[in-house]
Structure 1
Amino acid sequence: MTATIATAIPASAAAHTVSPKARLAGRIVSGVVVALLLLDSLSKLAQVQEVVDASVALGIPTGQVPVIGAILLACIALYVVPRTSILGAVFLTSYFGGAVMLNNMMNEKPLFSTVLSAAYVGVFVWLGLWLRDGRVRAIVASIIGR
């Protein structure tokens, strides 16, 4: 049996409409996040020397840097398309989890300034989506019991 996202969203999703101001704020937050992530992704794909050097210092093989950039670009593409934005946010969250693990467990970087920087971006990914998408509000409301 397969279920689509549309059937997985609570029927009360219509009650979670998004005001124009919240939608605009969500688009701004999401736009800033997407711009920063695009810069990161494209610099990995272009194999900018500073980015490759920083990745190698973290233990990532040189040949894997463009692969990571391509994966990030695919996640961004899913995030910006409204129909797949929730899936994109889940994938971006997973991507950031890998970054936290790499910085923390393998390289013992400072917690708040380096390790959690990916987690901070993940919070903004979901904040932007929550502000602009009533489906996310409905899902959150069903989880917290509202």
Structure 2
Amino acid sequence: METSKKTSKKMFWTGRIISILLILFLLLDAIMKIVKATPAVEGSIALGYPESAVVPMGIILLICTIFYIVPRTSILGAILLTGYLGGATTTHFRVGEPVWFAVIFGILVWLALYFCDERLRTLIPFRKKDTDRNDNTVE
């Protein structure tokens, strides 16, 4: 995630800080699942998952997060994390718990990349006003 001329330093560092906080949390969650820490196991069981699924979920989350960390594969990592967090959202819906945490994390994953990566901003352009559009309509 390198800064370009079109990425302001403020925008870049905002995205970088969001990414770092997300990555720290995701790595902590993955490692807790992999080492089968009591809170991770109890939380997964409470959500309806068997204890045997905790370590594989941690490994999957760790792999997705590593893809997100590496600048060359960060978009792929964001896609994979979106799928993982979508599963978390579905799980929370199923057991009747609030889904906002997983949804916000999913949004922040993409927002951080959006702030840091101009290529993504080119693919998903948000415009300030209609006059920014370059309509090539023929009259």
TM-score range, shorter chain: 0.7 to 0.9
Question: Out of 100, 103, 119, which is 1:116 matched to?
Answer: 100
Distance 1:25 1:78 in 2: 20
Per-residue deviation, residues 26-80 of structure 1 (Å, max 9, x unmatched): 1101000101111111100110012101101111110110100000000101111
Q: 2:29 matched to 1:26?
A: no
Q: 2:40 matched to 1:64?
A: no
Question: Out of 42, 51, 54, which is 1:53 matched to?
Answer: 42
Count of residues paired in the alignment: 125
Residues 16 and 135 in structure 1, CA contact (< 8 A), matched pair in contact too? no
Q: Which runs of 4+ in 1 moved over 3 A?
A: none
Distance 1:135 1:56 in 2: 41
Distance 2:5 2:48 in 1: 44
2:124 match: secondary structure: helix
Task: Report percent identity of matched pairs.
Answer: 40
The higher relative CO (CA closer than 8 Å, separation ≥ 6) is in 1
Per-residue deviation, residues 71-129 of structure 1 (Å, max 9, x unmatched): 00001011111111111101101101000101102x111xxxx3121000111111111
CA RMSD of aligned residues (A): 1.8
Distance 1:16 1:60 in 2: 47
Q: Structure 2 unaligned runs (5+)? A: 127-131, 134-139
Question: Out of 52, 55, 78, which is 2:67 matched to?
Answer: 78
Residues 16 and 134 in structure 1, CA contact (< 8 A), matched pair in contact too? no
Match of 2:121 in 1: 137
**Shift in Å at residue 17 of structure 1?**
2.7
The residue type paired with residue 119 of structure 2 is: R
Rg: which structure is higher?
2
**Shift in Å at residue 18 of structure 1?**
1.3
The residue type paired with residue 94 of structure 1 is: G
The residue type paired with residue 77 of structure 1 is: I
1:141 match: secondary structure: coil
2:17 match: secondary structure: helix
- Using structure 2 for the length normalisation, give the TM-score: 0.84
Q: 2:82 matched to 1:93?
A: yes
